[in-house]
Amino acid sequence: MALYNLNIPVTDDEVRTLRIGDMVSFSGSAWTCRSRLHRYIFDEGHRLPFSTENQNVLIHVGPIIVRENNAWRLVSFTPTSSIRFEKWGARSVEEWKLKAIVGKTTMGPATMAAMKRFGCVHLAPVGVTPELFVDRITVKDVYLFDELGSIEASWQLHLEKIGPFIVDIDTEGNNYFEQLDRVIDDNRKDAYKKLGIPEDFEYTKLY
Amino acid sequence: MITKTVLADTIFQTIKQGSCYISPDVHYAFEEAVRSESAEVPARALTDTLASLDRSRERISPACPDTGWPLFFCKVGNEAVIEGGILALEEISKEMVARATKEGFLRSTMKHPLSGDDPGTNVGVNVPGFTYKFVPGTDLQITFVAKGGGSECFGGTRYRVVAFADGTAGIKKTIVDWYIAAARAGAICPPAILGIGIGGTSDIATHLAKEAASLRIIGSHHPDTEIAAMENDLTDALNGLGIGCMGLGGKTSVFAVHVEYSYTHIAGIAVAMSANCMVARRATVRIDDAGQVEQLADPHWFNGR
């Protein structure tokens, strides 16, 4: 396990060095995206209204941001579950030329394949820590606020050493959580045993 | 009489507290988990989460931006006199949810299920949710629960029927399998507080599970010794799975397992699971007939627990 502080835009070389279990903090420009923005772009055929060239890190997050004294105030921020965007994951990696996606949980086989092909990683949060982030994030701008609502809009952010996040998908096609699954599956047998569930237990089929 | 003015002020404060202040039992569970964790990554996840939660309390800022479904659980005294009645209680609760959303204590999360349309208030068709229990006396007790989306959407909420012939082994196996599927990769934000409902119709079982997950405090036990033993056995077994905080591996995979049951038609035993995420947000107040307000650490939703 290594610790990295990466500046955005992240380079292809930097991202290909990362391995599952590594911890990364990011500084620079990043943006937010959730269900409605994915649908708006990929299913409804709109174009992303900004360039991702210099901000190739996407954060799956629905922050709490309020309008006060003619300015945006970031109230709370922690990544949301990425797995529900799996349908759009591979296209977002390829078409938005992403080098990193930060989100809770992980992503599926299609996105992992795209990440391997185009050089991109997925990172998961270490805990639920909104208060450790809010002072180090500046809200720069927002797109599609009226169309999609405050949490589904695309917030343009400036990050100052936000993290650490743990790399759960690397560019070699490894997945941190899949590896843990093997350990958990072994432990499952012990759990059955402790609870007196016979090894050959079968459910009566009621429907 | 409990006046509308007292209701409005109390409900707003309860929403704010529920979203921003972690309950003492949950705080203690975090401290215990930090003490017992030896692996570096989950230890950091627990320590940093606790540091963030403590700062949320200081700043009166949401413990997690996903403030989820706004739910109210009310214990209404049979002789309680509420100005405007229960309809006023619901109307004021909706107004206070909208106000708390506008002021940033709740995120504007509730949307139309098909269009995704966002009213910006967390108030819409059938939300907030209201559940009532009628008890002797003149007090009104209100618990606000901010039920997070992770624990609700990603496999933490389940229902099935198990044959009477399959017995407790069948019930326990289902819970182990469900929990692994739901908690992997941190989907339901483990260590969860797991509520299990056994028996009744599907809706009775799922209600019991939700209330056991959201309203019972960590460390409480069912008075029926057989059920209490099931709670302990499941807690031990699930903690041996190695899922850990946010699915990162480690020793604490659940904070508690709470089981509640209903008498039932034994042709098929309903089993329901409801997971509450590790930050388990709730706040409870009791208002007496004179309008005096008292905060409670334990909703005592079920008799004595």
- Beta-carbon contacts of residue A70 (< 8 Å; ≥ 6 apart): none
Residues B144 and B154 in one domain: no
Q: Average pLDDT for residues B236-243, to the nearest whole number?
A: 98
| A162-to-A30, A78, A102, A159, B113 alpha-carbon distances in Å | 11, 11, 11, 6, 32
Q: Average pLDDT for residues B120-124, to the nearest whole number?
A: 97
Q: Are B268 and A206 inside 8 Å of each other by CB?
A: yes
CB contact at 8 A, A6 and A14: yes
Residues B17 and B98 in one domain: yes
Could you give the count of Cα atoms lying within 13 Å of A89 in the half-sphere of its Cβ? 27
Residue B303 has pLDDT above 90, yes or no: no
Residues B221 and B110 in one domain: no
Contacts of B194 in chain A (CB under 8 A): none
Residues B68 and B204 in one domain: no
Residues B113 and B8 in one domain: yes
- DSSP 8-state class, residue A175: B
Tokens of A152: 């589904």
What share of chain A has pLDDT > 70, as a percent? 100
Nearest-by-Cβ selection for A151 from B56, B107, B236: B107
Q: Kindly tell me the burial class for residue B149, based on how many C-beta atoms sit within 10 Å of its own C-beta (0-12, 13-18, 19 or more).
A: buried
Q: Are B61 and A76 inside 8 Å of each other by CB?
A: yes
Report the candidate in B103, B224, B234, B252 with the shortest Cα–Cα distance to residue B172: B234
Q: Are B61 and A36 inside 8 Å of each other by CB?
A: no
Q: Name the residue in chain B with its Cα closest to that of A108.
A: B185
pLDDT band for A1, please (50, 70, 90 cuts): confident
- DSSP 8-state class, residue A87: H
Residues B237 and B212 in one domain: yes
What share of chain A has pLDDT > 90, as a percent? 99
Residues 88-107 of B with CB under 8 A from A: 102-104, 107
Q: Average pLDDT for residues A121-141, to the nearest whole number?
A: 97
Q: Kindly tell me the burial class for residue B292, based on how many C-beta atoms sit within 10 Å of its own C-beta (0-12, 13-18, 19 or more).
A: exposed
Q: Are A80 and B66 inside 8 Å of each other by CB?
A: yes
| A135-to-A73, A75, A160 alpha-carbon distances in Å | 10, 9, 9
Contacts of B268 in chain A (CB under 8 A): 206
Residues B183 and B269 in one domain: yes
| pLDDT, position A57 | 98
First to last CA, chain A: 48
Q: Are A177 and B185 inside 8 Å of each other by CB?
A: yes
| pLDDT, position B304 | 79
What is d(CA B286, CA B301) in angstroms, rounded to the nearest whole number?
A: 12
Higher pLDDT, residue B305 or B134: B134
- Which residues of chain A form beta strands (DSSP E)? 3-7, 23-32, 57-59, 64-68, 71-76, 100-102, 121-125, 137-143, 154-169
Nearest-by-Cβ selection for A184 from B65, B165, B184: B184
Tokens of A79: 């990544």
| pLDDT, position B97 | 98
- What ipTM was reported for this prediction? 0.96
Please write the tens of the pLDDT for every residue from B63-117. 999 999 999 999 999 999 999 999 999 999 999 999 999 999 999 999 999 999 9
pLDDT band for B45, please (50, 70, 90 cuts): very high
Residues B131 and B167 in one domain: no
Residue A15 has pLDDT above 90, yes or no: yes
Q: Are B109 and A198 inside 8 Å of each other by CB?
A: no
Q: What is the mean pLDDT of chain B?
A: 97
Which of A128, A133, A181, A207 is the best substitution to test chain B (most B C-beta atoms within 10 A)? A128
Q: Are B246 and A64 inside 8 Å of each other by CB?
A: no
> What's the domain count of chain B?
2
What is d(CA A82, CA A103) in angstroms, rounded to the nearest whole number?
A: 5
The CATH number of whichever domain residue B70 belongs to comes to 3.30.1330
Q: Quick check: is B132 in a domain?
A: yes
Q: Quick check: is B67 in a domain?
A: yes
What is d(CA B65, CA B61) in angstroms, rounded to the nearest whole number?
A: 9
Domains and CATH numbers, chain A: 3-175 (3.20.130.10)
Residues B108 and B167 in one domain: no
| A202-to-A190, B170, B198, B252, B267 alpha-carbon distances in Å | 17, 8, 20, 29, 18
Q: Average pLDDT for residues A137-147, to the nearest whole number?
A: 96
Q: How far is CA B238 from the centre of its chain?
A: 19
Residues B127 and B201 in one domain: no
**Distance from the B170 Cα atom to the nearest Cα atom in chain A, whole angstroms:** 7
Residues B255 and B285 in one domain: no
Q: Quick check: is B225 in a domain?
A: yes
What is d(CA B276, CA B214) in angstroms, rounded to the nearest whole number?
A: 6
Residues 8-47 of B with CB under 8 A from A: 40-41, 44-47
Contacts of B177 in chain A (CB under 8 A): 188
Nearest-by-Cβ selection for A104 from B51, B150, B238: B150
Tokens of B292: 């005096």
What is d(CA B59, CA A136) in angstroms, rounded to the nearest whole number?
A: 16
Q: How far is CA B191 from the centre of its chain?
A: 13
- Beta-carbon contacts of residue A64 (< 8 Å; ≥ 6 apart): A74, A75, A76, A77, A151, B62, B65, B67, B104, B107
- DSSP 8-state class, residue A131: H
Residues B265 and B154 in one domain: yes
Q: Are B172 and A197 inside 8 Å of each other by CB?
A: yes
- Which residues of A118-193 form beta strands (DSSP E)? 121-125, 137-143, 154-169
Residue A137 has pLDDT above 90, yes or no: yes
Q: Average pLDDT for residues A84-108, to the nearest whole number?
A: 98
| A129-to-A58, A79, B63, B65, B135 alpha-carbon distances in Å | 18, 9, 8, 10, 39
Q: Quick check: is B155 in a domain?
A: yes
Q: What is the mean pLDDT of chain A?
A: 97
Q: Quick check: is B29 in a domain?
A: no
Q: Quick check: is B167 in a domain?
A: yes
Q: Average pLDDT for residues A112-121, to the nearest whole number?
A: 98
Q: Quick check: is B213 in a domain?
A: yes
Nearest-by-Cβ selection for A191 from B116, B176, B268: B176
Nearest-by-Cβ selection for A194 from B44, B236, B243: B236
What is d(CA A71, CA A73) in angstroms, rounded to the nearest whole number?
A: 6
Tokens of A26: 């990011």
Q: Are B184 and A132 inside 8 Å of each other by CB?
A: no
Please write the tens of the pLDDT for every residue from A174-205. 999 999 999 999 999 999 999 999 989 999 99
Q: Are A197 and B166 inside 8 Å of each other by CB?
A: no
What is d(CA A187, CA A195) in angstroms, rounded to the nearest whole number?
A: 12
Q: Are B246 and A125 inside 8 Å of each other by CB?
A: yes
Q: Quick check: is B289 in a domain?
A: yes
Show the domain range for B99.
Answer: 4-21+63-148+281-296
CB atoms within 10 A of CB B169: 16
DSSP A28-58: EEEEE--HHHHIIIIIT-PPPSS--TT--EE
CB contact at 8 A, A121 and A99: yes
